[in-house]
Structure 1
């Protein structure tokens, strides 16, 4: 299978920033998700006492990772979705224009025909995004059976619902809905107060239900409410808008803007999460607005991380090649679904399957040790991605999704071009017969 390089122009120039950012972001996601698998028993039960290393690691993670990794993931999802839409509309418009009668004879398409071709291509792009969204929902559902913190389903829901607005670039409407869902989510968290932070490191106690059923219920809740009705929609829209600019694909042209986003975004994120982080290392009570503040400033943190990673990746090299960590991170980033799902497979193996087979009990680790496991898991998957890169192969889950989307496409009746009812010599630019 020949791998198509992501984010390339007609001359094959590689724009590394989106893929490099996605590759490093998946390390943040692993670190953010591992507490779901290693949720330690409470100290009150007499089975675990948090160490100073655990407390200080959670302090750092709260400032820079929690509620920052997934918004960054959402931005890059929106960016990639809009890149796909733009490419589909551009290639589809050319194909429809080439299908017009008389084009091979040198007849120039009219303005009406060009408008028709672009409209048909836009409809095709909308159908592609929506079809892809439905498949992502299915992937997310299956993944959610094993890991209820799945985010693929929420992204699929965004694609299904907003495919039309995205393909027609109705950003005002998208920003409005994104801002409303963000404000509603923050408002709900303010109303719930400290109670809303209880599920941050794992699922509530649902021992009365089979694990698969409880996971599916929590997955559905997360997709419909916790994830969708939060800041990820706004982040996805911002990412889509960035795809219509050169800020990310040519970060070398916007160093001042991106540097300001790094300083301002990460500083605001740290300030917003500081009090919540301090509760892990100091004997101070949580504030009712801690969770809401972390959630809201997570958007700023995601912007800061994206800007920093884009600056690190830089613009396209003259020879189109990447070296060192950039090459490795790009290989990971272009296989993001495979990496994300592989994390679940490895976490499940390490924390559940092997320990149950060997000792009959799950593996429980402290927060700091679990983070080291997350880094190790990411490194193992990095090796897999580098091997796939050298072989010129896409990730298996990307291939599966692409195949499913392509094979589920259904032909549609398209309206005739506006010029078909006119004689050939009546169209502007047509050559009279004879």
Structure 2
């Protein structure tokens, strides 16, 4: 059996080696992850909104369903695939053997799956870490060492999925036009773990909810594969050289994801009224079009990086959070449990179950994590979760 010695892997990537785009993407998109998850906690269910909004709450509902829900997590799926290639590339450049690189990736992803199980059990059923770990193992075994011709398959898959989204959209439009039943009022699909009145009850419920959720999100292996393709092309390390491609991806990705979410968003805002059959088709369209938010948002951030001439304090701080995104993600879950759970501070109930409460808490928690990450960066400390994962891996 091949053993890993202290020289079989290189140390963490240095600040001078880091590309700005991946860190800025991870740090910035944690805000959207927070907006989605805080709302789920505040309303004890998904999608986490008031089905009978008034005033500005209509606008918040509209923005949440066009820009956040089912649109933020695909960004991290793409970036996860991107990170797999980056890690493997650094290890190979340091002289690690092919077998050694494979063992490192498999071990790291196995531990990530363990992180996910612990996170889902103790804090939040809607964990993605466990699924990332399992998908990472599959990608390491099946995808990473393939040639460019093989990886072009994923582009054809995404192209075929655009056609599929258009078919789903046409079906939703037909159902909307022919809608004749009573107007459907949006409700939150309840999650027992979020409504539990004691921590013990919430823990038991999470153990039941987590396997189903993980099985559902395992399907984003194709989204991760797209990240692997992008990393092989080094699109984010040198965005200037790929500006035309990134512009096209941003336009297509964001157009599909925004337009696909538009029908359900209009219903959520109370500006469109349809029967339940039509609404169900809108929900399906919203979900299948959301994956295009992954490449769309990433391309937008990469184009933004091209225009950043100076790394201002906000850019440095958000990037610092991106370098510690695992810690930032777990910090959010701890925060939701402390601030929003019925058996803790229960701010959702105390301040009113409104979109403003959830959004305010999400922005506050994200801002605290940005400040904390910047302080860690100033003192040359890695995130605690990243440090633990590295120790366990090596």
TM-score category by the smaller chain? Answer: 0.7 to 0.9
1:150 aligns with 2:140: no
- Contact kept, 8 Å, 1:82 with 1:166, in 2: the verdict is no
1:338 aligns with 2:327: yes
Q: How far off its partner does 1:392 sit?
A: 0.5
1:23 aligns with 2:27: yes
Structure 1 alignment gaps of length 5 or more: 94-120, 407-434
Q: How far off its partner does 1:261 sit?
A: 1.9
1:391 aligns with 2:379: yes
**1:47-58 map, 5 Å:** 50-58=53-61
Q: How far off its partner does 1:170 sit?
A: 6.0
What is aligned with 1:324? 313
Q: Distance in 2 between the 1:68 and 1:21 partners?
A: 14
Deviates more, 1:32-41 or 1:242-251: 32-41
Q: How far off its partner does 1:283 sit?
A: 4.3
**1:399-414 map, 5 Å:** 399-406=387-394
TM-score, structure 2 as length reference: 0.79
What is aligned with 2:83? 80
Q: Distance in 1 between the 2:78 and 2:188 partners?
A: 21
What is aligned with 1:111? none
After superposition, the C-alpha distances for 1:210-243 in whole angstroms (9 at most, x for unaligned) are 321211221111112x1112xx211111111111
The one of 64, 67, 71 equivalent to 2:67 is 64
1:253 aligns with 2:244: no
Structure whose alpha-carbon radius of gyration is higher: 1
Q: How far off its partner does 1:260 sit?
A: 2.2
Q: How far off its partner does 1:405 sit?
A: 1.1
Q: Distance in 1 between the 2:88 and 2:67 partners?
A: 32
Q: Distance in 1 between the 2:354 and 2:146 partners?
A: 46
Structure 2 alignment gaps of length 5 or more: 1-10, 170-174, 176-184
Q: Distance in 1 between the 2:52 and 2:68 partners?
A: 23
**1:351-390 map, 5 Å:** 351-352=340-341, 354-355=344-345, 365-390=353-378
TM-score, structure 1 as length reference: 0.72
> Aligned residues, how many?
354
Q: Distance in 2 between the 1:355 and 1:237 partners?
A: 41
Structure with greater helix percent: 2
The one of 202, 214, 230 equivalent to 1:211 is 202
**1:210-289 map, 5 Å:** 210-224=201-215, 226-229=216-219, 232-280=220-268, 281-285=270-274, 286-289=278-281
The one of 101, 125, 132 equivalent to 2:101 is 125
- Contact kept, 8 Å, 1:351 with 1:364, in 2: the verdict is no
Q: How far off its partner does 1:355 sit?
A: 2.1
- Contact kept, 8 Å, 1:175 with 1:237, in 2: the verdict is no
Superposition misfits of 4+ residues, deviation over 6 angstroms: 197-201, 205-209
Q: 1:5 to 1:132 in 2, by over 3 A?
A: closer
Give secondary structure in 2 for the equivalent of 1:287.
helix
The one of 285, 296, 310 equivalent to 1:293 is 285
